[in-house]
Amino acid sequence: MTHSRPEILFPLFADLTVLEGVGPKSAQNFSNIDVDRPRDLLFTLPHGCVDRRPRASLKGLIFPSIATVEVKVGAHQRPTGRGRPYRVMVRDAEMDFQLVFFHAREDWVQKNLPTGARRLVSGKVEVFDGLAQMVHPDHILRNDKDINLPPFEPVYPLTAGISQKLMYRATRSALNRVVDLPEWADPNLKAEREWPDWRQALKRAHSPQGMQDIAASSAVRERLAYDELFAHQITLAIARASVRRAKGLKTQGDGSLQKSVLQTLPFSPTGAQTRSIADIQTDMEKPIRMNRLLQGDVGSGKTLVALMSMLAAVEAGGQAIMMAPTEILARQHLAGLRPLAENAGVRLELLTGRDKGKERIEKLKALASGDIQILVGTHALFQKDVNFHDLRLAIIDEQHRFGVQQRMDLGAKGRAVDILVMTATPIPRSLALAHYGDMDISVLNEKPPGRKSIETVMVSAGRLDQVVERLRAAISEGRQVYWVCPLVEESEVVEMTAAEDRYKHLRASLGEGNVGLVHGQMKPSEKDKAMDDFIAGRTKVLVATTVIEVGVDVPTASIIVIEQAENFGLAQLHQLRGRVGRGDEASTCLLLYSGRLGKSAEARLSIMRETNDGFRIAEEDLRLRGAGDLLGVAQSGLPRFRIADLEEQADLMKIAQDDARMFLQTDPKLESERGQAVRTLLYLMEQDKAIRLLSVG
């Protein structure tokens, strides 16, 4: 079986300079919009179209407007002074107007618009000093049979040095290189959605017949988006199958440790927790590696699911680790998990970059001998001298802070480590499929009993003094408060300064001993002391930057103030709000905003006020910000699709995933007729790595 690009695709992967009108300089400019071959140009679709259908007259048009009309050329008016335009009087079937040219060469105008000639002109018409005029027409054509003006002209994304005219010429030239390819789409799906063939879809996408053809919901756009998503999902499914072929260990506990922990809890797990624990255990008991994502909203009880999973590994005679992105969060996990583990007779320890000398050596020894059964830690777990006796399960908390490579590095610490990834950032389904499509997904969509919903209020920063007064009253009642300082993307130092200024102000207002401070620039020991004082209730208000965003759990804190809330993203606001509502008190989130809110900021804050449901917030966030911003494309590993729009075409991702998985069940090696067509698609979409994985498998 050959594993190189099929010859039928060669014309689409040629140098860009083979296209009409594209020289070396233009090719260089095209690369600024990630267009390096004819294939890239074909997948750069127009984002609009201009109606160029000829009309008899401009009369009755509402200006400004783009129009195409046949005219008789009249008198020329040369410029009357420096910087003045060259004007040509023309008349259509019913009215006179002017063609206007700035800095035009007279010989060029005379040659193209000789007095008395008939021409077809097309461009933007505006009214100036009561007279209609077309400034620099887009097209001036001799009105003969070979007019090459499409009735609807596509409008493409451009970059410096690339004009619409060049885009149009180059895309037509690229379209001429397209041949019919074998059909890879499922025939039933294609018929049901009324999709055209691939080649026909491309041609129609580049020749829209109105704005309805530009819409993501048009059959043509759907077809091309599906191809891209289907290739992506086939690749993920093949990668997933290759992971599954990687031998795992059967990790089967007897349930004794889990039972003893559950008996000490003052509540019963939710249905979603019970289901997720069962999913994970079923995976761990199989002789293939687990690769699962546990996705749960703020406060949905992921930590309990994690502990039960780690206890299953310990019951089977193995070890488990849990890695957190920050030391604050790792210490939080230690505080929450250690008492439960010790109750069951399980040794649970913490390893961070702060462990030094003799203490660290002792821990590493106990880890290598198997005496430490569960280890919680930070990036320090990656270090070469961290060795395990029998590591069975690695849990990675807040996956979006770690890359896939780190997931694999952690897995390499044992013989066949099961991987469980957790995130408290609810991810819309379409993004979860794009980003984590190689993983099985469990969702915690219920809140544990007793979790209070949080009242969210928007308050203008002009009422800051009233807010401080309200806090004074709350503190006197024994309540505790988080005060989150503004987010300053450019600099942690500026962020620190803002936090220190607010800290001084609140100490002056609420009493020195009542207010603590924590930010990213502090020494770890100072941070610990500030957190410990707050957790123990010695301080009543904790002024913080966003270091408290994830996982901090102080049940007595029932108020959170978020300053300049309009500068935070929805997901981040939701995470921060989740720091309260963890105890018996009714909780409040105050969103302080400055000045007049822009549309987008007002929409974000209003959604926060309306709902506590993280999954709904995630969907709204996707709608407001788009996929790339939501996960942060650079670090998220989210694929960049040229055609597919994850916001508009979320349903297509699920269809593509189902189709890919069903197809690979029947033809895992892509050997059938459709399988060969799918191979061609993978090469077309530059997913060659999937083919390589197949050949290795």
Residues 264 and 393 in one domain: yes
Task: Give dist(CA 420, CA 265) in Å, integer.
Answer: 23
Provide the sign of the torsion angle of the four alpha carbons 610, 614, 615, 617, taken in this order: positive
Cα(510)–Cα(256) distance, integer angstroms = 50
Q: Distance (Å, rounded) from C-alpha 274 to C-alpha 495?
A: 41
pLDDT of 498-557, one tens digit each? 788 899 999 999 888 899 998 877 887 888 888 889 888 899 999 988 766 545 677 788
Is 691 a domain residue?
A: no
Query: Between these two residues, 687 and 638, which has the higher pLDDT value?
Result: 687
Report residue 655 as tokens. Answer: 């269809």
In a domain, 34, yes or no: no
* Confidence grade of residue 639 (pLDDT, cut at 50, 70, 90): low
Which pLDDT value is given to residue 144? 55
Q: Residue 67 CA to chain centroid, in angstroms?
A: 40
The answer to whether residues 433 and 484 belong to one domain is: no
What pLDDT, on a 0 to 100 scale, did the predictor assign at position 431? 65
pLDDT digits (tens, 9 = 90+) for 323-355: 988 887 888 889 889 999 998 999 999 998 888
Q: Is residue 192 part of a domain?
A: no
User: Total structural domains in the chain?
Assistant: 3
- Domain termination site, one of 394, 425, 444: 444
Antiparallel, parallel or unpaired: β 440-444 and 291-296: parallel
Q: What is the predicted pLDDT for the residue at 27?
A: 87
Tokens of 95: 């009215």
Instruction: Answer yes or no: do 297 and 433 share one domain.
Output: yes
pLDDT digits (tens, 9 = 90+) for 450-491: 667 789 999 998 899 999 999 999 999 888 999 998 766 555
Q: What is the CATH number of the domain that holds 319?
A: 3.40.50.300
The predicted structure's pLDDT at residue 637: 42
Task: Specify whether 559 is located in the same domain as 440.
Answer: no
Burial class (CB in 10 A: 0-12, 13-18, 19+), 491: exposed
Question: What residue numbers bound the domain in which 557 lies?
Answer: 454-611
684 or 697: which leads in pLDDT: 684
Mean pLDDT lowest for which of 91-100, 350-359, 638-647, 684-693? 638-647
CB 481 within 8 A of CB 590: no
Looking at the structure, do residues 431 and 471 belong to the same domain, yes or no?
no
Q: What is the pLDDT of residue 190?
A: 94
Instruction: Provide the phi-psi class of 171: left if phi over 0, else alpha when psi is between -120 and 50, else beta.
Output: alpha
Structure tokens at 118: 């008939």
For residue 693, tell me if it sits in a domain: no
Q: Which of 155, 150, 127, 128 is nearest to 139 (CA)?
A: 150
Tell me which residue of 214, 213, 55, 61 sits closest to 126, measured CA to CA. 61
pLDDT, the chain, mean: 84
- The predicted structure's pLDDT at residue 330: 87
For residues 57-66, average pLDDT: 87
Do residues 625 and 638 make contact, with C-beta atoms less than 8 angstroms apart? no
Residue 690 has pLDDT above 70, yes or no: yes
Percent of the chain exceeding pLDDT 70 equals 87
> CA 458 to CA 160: how far, in whole Å?
43
Q: What CATH number is attached to the domain comprising 93? A: 2.40.50.140
Sign, CA dihedral 521-525-526-527, equals positive
Single-letter residue type at 244 = R
Instruction: From residue 153, give the alpha-carbon distance in Å to each of 68, 79, 157, 173, 198.
Output: 12, 32, 13, 16, 21
493 and 534 belong to one structural domain:
yes
Strands (E), 530-665: 541-544, 557-562, 587-593
**Please, which pLDDT band fits residue 437 given cuts at 50, 70 and 90?**
low
Distance between CA 231 and CA 689 in Å, rounded? 11
pLDDT at 636 over 50: no
Tell me the per-residue pLDDT of 126-159, one tens digit each, with 9 for 90 and over. 988 888 999 899 888 886 554 577 888 898 888 8
Question: Which two structure tokens, joined as six digits, stand for 211?
Answer: 């704005």
| Same-domain pairing of 323 and 431 | yes
**Are residues 316 and 297 located together in one domain of the fold?**
yes
The residue length of the chain stands at 697
Burial classification of residue 196, based on how many CB atoms lie within 10 Å of its CB (0-12 exposed, 13-18 middle, 19 or more buried)? middle
Average pLDDT score over residue span 148-174:
86
Residue 288 is given by DSSP the state B
Read off the DSSP letter of residue 247.
B
pLDDT at site 625: 58
Residue whose C-alpha is closest to residue 350's, from 57, 337, 358: 337
Over the range 313-348, which residues count as b (16 or more CB within 10 Å of their CB) and which as e?
Answer: bbbbebbbbbbbbbbbbbbbbbeebbebbeebebeb
Considering the domain boundaries, does residue 687 fall inside one? no
Rounded Cα distance, 36 and 30, in Å: 7
Q: Which of 308, 319, 296 is nearest to 399 (CA)?
A: 296
In a domain, 574, yes or no: yes
Q: Is the pLDDT of residue 683 over 80?
A: yes
pLDDT at 447 over 80: no
Distance CA 528, CA 544 (A): 13
Residues 439 and 573 in one domain: no
Question: Which band of pLDDT confidence, cut at 50, 70 and 90, is reported for residue 619?
Answer: confident
Q: Which residue has the tokens 């999902």?
A: 233
Among residues 611, 627, 662, the one where a domain terminates is 611
Do 292 and 436 share a structural domain?
yes
pLDDT digits (tens, 9 = 90+) for 392-415: 999 988 755 555 556 566 666 667
Measured from the Cβ of residue 245, the count of other Cβ atoms closer than 10 Å reads 12
For every residue of 549-569, DSSP letters joined together read: TTT---TTEEEEEETTGGGS-
Beta bridge partners of 542: 482, 516
**Token representation of residue 630:** 């939501």
Q: Is residue 403 part of a domain?
A: yes
Contacts of 476 (CB under 8 A, 6+ apart): none
DSSP 175-213: HTT-------S-HHHHHHHTPPPHHHHHHHHTS-SSGGG
Q: How far apart are CA 264 and CA 340, in angstroms?
A: 8
The CA distance from 611 to 358, in Å, is 50
One domain, residues 325 and 471:
no
- Which DSSP string corresponds to 356-401? -HHHHHHHHHHHHHT---EEEESGGGGSTT---SSEEEEEEESGGG
Please indicate, yes or no, whether residues 488 and 544 belong to a single structural domain of this protein: yes
278: in domain: yes
Rg (CA), the chain: 32
Which has the higher per-residue pLDDT, 265 or 368? 368
How is residue 291 written in tokens? 């690769």
Measure the CA–CA gap between 466 and 660, rounded to whole angstroms: 58
Q: Taking a C-beta distance cutoff of 8 angstroms, is the pair 310, 418 a contact?
A: no
Q: Decide if pLDDT at 677 tops 80.
A: yes
CA distance 664 to 646: 23
Last residue of a domain, one of 96, 121, 149: 149
Could you tell me the two tokens for 147? 């007019």
Name residue, tokens 């201009």. Answer: 50
